[in-house]
Structure 1
Amino acid sequence: MNWDRIEGNWKQAKGKMIEQWGKLTDDDLDVVAGRREQLAGKIQERYGVAKDEAERQVAEWERRVGDDWFAASPDKKQRRH
């Protein structure tokens, strides 16, 4: 999954992130504003996890979003051919 696609769909992504990390607020995600490193930092802050664990969670979420959320995307279908 390309993080640029998440940034480009930030409003939709925010809802998915709140589903995943319920302790994050709308204000937290407004501060993050699509920046991956900021998201990991907010996860660290809210959940009290180490930086590498927060980054692992973001990477896992990013992979799942790529598999599920954009599954019907024409770009993704083209890459399979």
Structure 2
Amino acid sequence: MNWDTIEGNWKQLKGNAKEKWGKLTDDDLDIIAGKRERLIGKLQEKYGIAKGEFEKQVDEFQKYARLKAIKDAEKWSENNI
């Protein structure tokens, strides 16, 4: 899953982002709007940790979002076949 897919599904994924990074507010998540660099910037601002560390965490979030999309597709298939 590329980042464009996350951006396109941000409304569904921002709750997961808030669970992972609890210091992000709803307003922060709206400002981020699924943009990778905005997410990393807000994380740096809120947590004061180096950009490289958050890039790793965001990469892991991207993997999570991919797995979530696969599970959702499988569930849809089971219910519609």
TM-score in same-fold range (> 0.5) = yes
Q: TM-score, normalised by structure 1?
A: 0.81
Report 1 or 2 for greater relative contact order, CA contacts < 8 Å, sequence distance ≥ 6: 2
- Segments of structure 1 that go 5 or more residues without pairing to the other structure are 75-81
| Offset from partner CA, 1:29-80 (integer Å, 9 cap, x none) | 111111100101111111111010111110111112212x111437xxxxxx
- Segments of structure 2 that go 5 or more residues without pairing to the other structure are 75-81
Matches within 5 A, 1:1-81: 1-67=1-67, 69-71=68-70, 72-73=72-73
Equivalent pairs, count: 73
Q: Which protein shows a greater Rg?
A: 2
What is the root-mean-square deviation of aligned Cα atoms in Å?
A: 1.3
Q: TM-score, normalised by structure 2?
A: 0.81
Whole-angstrom distance in 2 between the partners of 1:45 and 1:56: 16
Q: Normalized per residue, which structure has more helix?
A: 2
Runs of 4+ in 1 over 3 A off after TM superposition: none
Percent sequence identity over aligned pairs: 58
Whole-angstrom distance in 2 between the partners of 1:34 and 1:53: 19
